[in-house]
A and B are shown apart, each in its own frame.
Chain A
């Protein structure tokens, strides 16, 4: 322990400036964070963007300052090279490593923890209630941020080398992202992401320990190269389709939803503009069969097209992020068809097979909630308000993490929000819903701030003016519930004789933004 403290004290003396800068940035970030919760005064447009830019800059600078600090502290006893004075002194590697970790704890984790306690208290939450979550957040920062920084620092001996290594890693990650976008079904790969993360953490730990125990830089650098190759191989060799089919078996019982194709518009004229590489197709589907008290989250959609002469197109699974409720009458599936394929089949009757990988949820724990005026506590969420900012939202400050699964529903016809003279209220029974869900149930999310902001958008299109009308005001009634997943399955819809030209979304001519349905 004596040696740990001795080395730690030396690093404190050496890097007090870097530590002071990182803590100052953290303080500024905390100040910004508190101000971002409230929309007290509408800012001028330039003021709004300036404040967003500055707060974004500070958010980016805090981890950069931490990384710089930690790299410098590790480089104080460099592990690369054969000229370091410390390697022939009575340093014990475990104690040296412990001293560096102690430094990170004292100058990165503890200031962050102090800020988090302050932010929780400032946001109206008792920090003691969230002690475990706060510790969890420290662990997340350590594993997902400090560990990779340490892994780079232990195989380099200068900040320039760290920057070059970071650049190489960034280029690699961009390359992997581009490659991933070209591999069918790879976007629907939660399991692969988890495996890659586990391998990454394991390799980073191995590199740090190998360097401190043996200073075998060559082996450590090979390990980094091997990690890159392993992640690449996992990306390209994973049988994504098989995994989807395994995770979402074909349903034996009747599908919990029935989908049929609705007619499209008239066929368009002429070829696609030359600047377009793809044709955007949108298939409108009528929806029925979802039992009351249940809902369906469509996690993956596979569109397969078979045309005459053995023509076949299959882009793999995609994640559409569709939520289907019992009272929904229709939905739509959008996809991009390569221009050449589209030109060949636009007016030919083709067979389309739509496969859906979905999770069926049962609504549980329904409770009524009347929105109070001012700030109010929303059960299972946090402290919320309907005032300030955008009036059609419930703006909430949530401690540590967003709700795992929370459905907020409201009958818009019973909205207490005032409507403009001449406007009609919402149709009776017109529901607005906002479903917040995440795949994990961890105690906290990764980040510096323990306060997450969640906005529940509950509004409707005014039947007379077609304007978006706020649906939630003080005294509005909500129904809160916690949908629980009950089954994950796969179902398919066969569509015969479809002319994709009837379902093409035409690019908007002016400016090139957005799409308009062609009639």
Chain B
């Protein structure tokens, strides 16, 4: 499978602040890739580098097989980009905005445009500056979908939108997902959990994981072990165990590489015999929080040392 987006050791510094620290990212063609991470993780910076809005300090990024630094003009005829903080020509009415965009794209689809206007219930006779935030995002999305882009890049498109508008936008996106790769950044997993096929988690400029959502959910388990008496906790735990805690004769942790057989063997090696064990699947949100807390703990440990 080809990759729609690929970065290698991407670094971006703003004076002394390192926004991206060696980002290696791969977004397969046809995927709906959720690029998640807390605010300030570097998602928007990464996207701006991908769109050649800002330059990288070091490293390389490819978008649709082209070095992102070469992205210009005609290349954007197959890329749709929508961002929460994009400055639209607000003096234009919605109909004028769409009419203005039309001639830039050979693949502009008037029928699709009309469908999107209708689906998003866009008020054509109102100026962009007079629209609510949600309506403005819908207008931007309509302008980015109507030419059948090969790649849709959306930077925090749902921030601050009410659930109804968010669902409409997601619906609009999903109906066109088959023909595009969708790369969508968000700081809220719940927004993207329902429809993403792949997920990447960025924290402090580093990608903590990036994989298909199904395999991610498959490999994370909340493990609960019960013992006859409180067990002795070993000084060194397996690297794949996270958030370990114990109370009386119960030990809980998150296994980040769950494999029924291997995990059971590892538990036996560490604790010996247990009275009982339970392995519960986790929601993406729980995985996200576990990773975030683990990262915080790691950082705290580093700064303490």
Q: With CB as the reference atom, state the residue of chain A lying closest to B87.
A: A83
Select A83's contact among B85, B91, B105, beta carbons within 8 Å: B85
Residue A82 interfacial (CB < 8 Å): yes
Select A90's contact among B74, B85, B88, beta carbons within 8 Å: B74
Asked whether A90 lies within 8 Å of B87 as measured between CB atoms, the reply is no
The complex places the Cα of A84 from the Cα of B87 at a distance, in Å, of: 5
Asked whether B48 lies within 8 Å of A82 as measured between CB atoms, the reply is yes
Chain A proximity of B254: nearest CB distance (Å): 38
Interface-lining segment among B76-84, B163-171, B238-246, B271-279: B76-84
Interfacial chain A residues near B104, Cβ < 8 Å:
3, 6, 89-91
Residue A336 interfacial (CB < 8 Å): no
Interfacial chain B residues near A329, Cβ < 8 Å:
none
Within A1-39, the residues touching B (CB, 8 Å) are 2-3, 6, 10, 14
- Interface size class for chain A? 10 to 19
Binary flags per residue of A140-171, CB closer than 8 Å to B gives 1, else 0:
00000000000000000000000000000000
Asked whether B91 lies within 8 Å of A93 as measured between CB atoms, the reply is no
Asked whether A87 lies within 8 Å of B74 as measured between CB atoms, the reply is no
Asked whether A92 lies within 8 Å of B73 as measured between CB atoms, the reply is yes
The complex places the Cα of A462 from the Cα of B53 at a distance, in Å, of: 77
Contact A82 B54, CB 8 Å, known A14-B91, A89-B104, A90-B104: yes
Chain B proximity of A158: nearest CB distance (Å): 12
Asked whether B103 lies within 8 Å of A6 as measured between CB atoms, the reply is yes
Contact A10 B100, CB 8 Å, known A83-B85, A83-B86: yes
Asked whether B100 lies within 8 Å of A88 as measured between CB atoms, the reply is no
Within B25-78, the residues touching A (CB, 8 Å) are 48, 51-54, 72-77
Chain A proximity of B50: nearest CB distance (Å): 10
Q: How many residues of B contact A (CB 8 A)?
A: 26
Binary flags per residue of B168-201, CB closer than 8 Å to A gives 1, else 0:
0000000000000000000000000000000000
Q: With CB as the reference atom, state the residue of chain A lying closest to B45.
A: A82
Within B80-137, the residues touching A (CB, 8 Å) are 81, 83, 85-89, 91, 100-101, 103-105
The complex places the Cα of A56 from the Cα of B52 at a distance, in Å, of: 48
The complex places the Cα of A416 from the Cα of B103 at a distance, in Å, of: 73
The complex places the Cα of A88 from the Cα of B77 at a distance, in Å, of: 9
Residue A85 interfacial (CB < 8 Å): yes
Within A61-85, the residues touching B (CB, 8 Å) are 76, 81-85
Asked whether A87 lies within 8 Å of B100 as measured between CB atoms, the reply is no
Asked whether A90 lies within 8 Å of B51 as measured between CB atoms, the reply is no
Asked whether A85 lies within 8 Å of B89 as measured between CB atoms, the reply is yes
The complex places the Cα of A6 from the Cα of B48 at a distance, in Å, of: 27
The complex places the Cα of A318 from the Cα of B79 at a distance, in Å, of: 64
Interfacial chain B residues near A14, Cβ < 8 Å:
91
The complex places the Cα of A85 from the Cα of B140 at a distance, in Å, of: 9
The complex places the Cα of A2 from the Cα of B106 at a distance, in Å, of: 12
Q: With CB as the reference atom, state the residue of chain A lying closest to B51.
A: A88
Asked whether B85 lies within 8 Å of A88 as measured between CB atoms, the reply is no
Asked whether A89 lies within 8 Å of B91 as measured between CB atoms, the reply is no
Interfacial chain B residues near A85, Cβ < 8 Å:
86-89, 140
Interface centre among A2, A81, A88, A91 (most CB of B within 10 A): A88
Chain B proximity of A324: nearest CB distance (Å): 63
Asked whether B48 lies within 8 Å of A90 as measured between CB atoms, the reply is no
The complex places the Cα of A84 from the Cα of B76 at a distance, in Å, of: 14
Interfacial chain B residues near A89, Cβ < 8 Å:
76, 101, 104
Interfacial chain A residues near B86, Cβ < 8 Å:
83-85
Asked whether B76 lies within 8 Å of A90 as measured between CB atoms, the reply is yes
The complex places the Cα of A2 from the Cα of B102 at a distance, in Å, of: 12
Q: With CB as the reference atom, state the residue of chain B lying closest to A7.
A: B100
Select A88's contact among B53, B89, B105, beta carbons within 8 Å: B53
Asked whether A87 lies within 8 Å of B103 as measured between CB atoms, the reply is no
The complex places the Cα of A88 from the Cα of B83 at a distance, in Å, of: 11
Q: With CB as the reference atom, state the residue of chain B lying closest to A87.
A: B53
Chain A proximity of B260: nearest CB distance (Å): 46
The complex places the Cα of A39 from the Cα of B128 at a distance, in Å, of: 55
Asked whether A88 lies within 8 Å of B79 as measured between CB atoms, the reply is yes
Asked whether A90 lies within 8 Å of B54 as measured between CB atoms, the reply is no
Interfacial chain A residues near B54, Cβ < 8 Å:
82
Chain A proximity of B80: nearest CB distance (Å): 8
Asked whether A93 lies within 8 Å of B73 as measured between CB atoms, the reply is yes
The complex places the Cα of A6 from the Cα of B102 at a distance, in Å, of: 10
The complex places the Cα of A180 from the Cα of B52 at a distance, in Å, of: 45
Interface centre among B52, B81, B87 (most CB of A within 10 A): B87
Interfacial chain B residues near A84, Cβ < 8 Å:
86-87
Interfacial chain B residues near A76, Cβ < 8 Å:
89
Interfacial chain A residues near B87, Cβ < 8 Å:
81, 83-85
Interfacial chain A residues near B73, Cβ < 8 Å:
90-93
Chain A proximity of B231: nearest CB distance (Å): 54
The complex places the Cα of A89 from the Cα of B103 at a distance, in Å, of: 11
The complex places the Cα of A76 from the Cα of B88 at a distance, in Å, of: 11
Interfacial chain A residues near B51, Cβ < 8 Å:
87-88
Binary flags per residue of A89-105, CB closer than 8 Å to B gives 1, else 0:
11111000000000000
Chain A proximity of B46: nearest CB distance (Å): 13
Chain A proximity of B155: nearest CB distance (Å): 10
The complex places the Cα of A14 from the Cα of B103 at a distance, in Å, of: 18
Chain B proximity of A4: nearest CB distance (Å): 11
Asked whether B77 lies within 8 Å of A90 as measured between CB atoms, the reply is yes
Interfacial chain A residues near B101, Cβ < 8 Å:
89
B interface residue numbers (CB < 8 A to A): 48, 51-54, 72-77, 79, 81, 83, 85-89, 91, 100-101, 103-105, 140
Jot down 26 A-B pairs with beta carbons below 8 A, ordered by A. A3-B104, A6-B100, A10-B100, A14-B91, A82-B48, A82-B53, A82-B54, A83-B83, A83-B86, A84-B86, A85-B86, A85-B87, A85-B88, A87-B51, A87-B52, A88-B53, A88-B76, A88-B81, A89-B104, A90-B74, A90-B75, A90-B76, A91-B73, A91-B104, A92-B73, A93-B72
Extra pairs beyond A82-B53, A83-B86 (7, CB < 8 Å): A3-B104, A6-B100, A83-B85, A87-B52, A88-B79, A89-B76, A92-B74
Shortest 4 CB-CB contacts between residues of A and residues of B: A92-B73, A88-B81, A90-B77, A83-B87
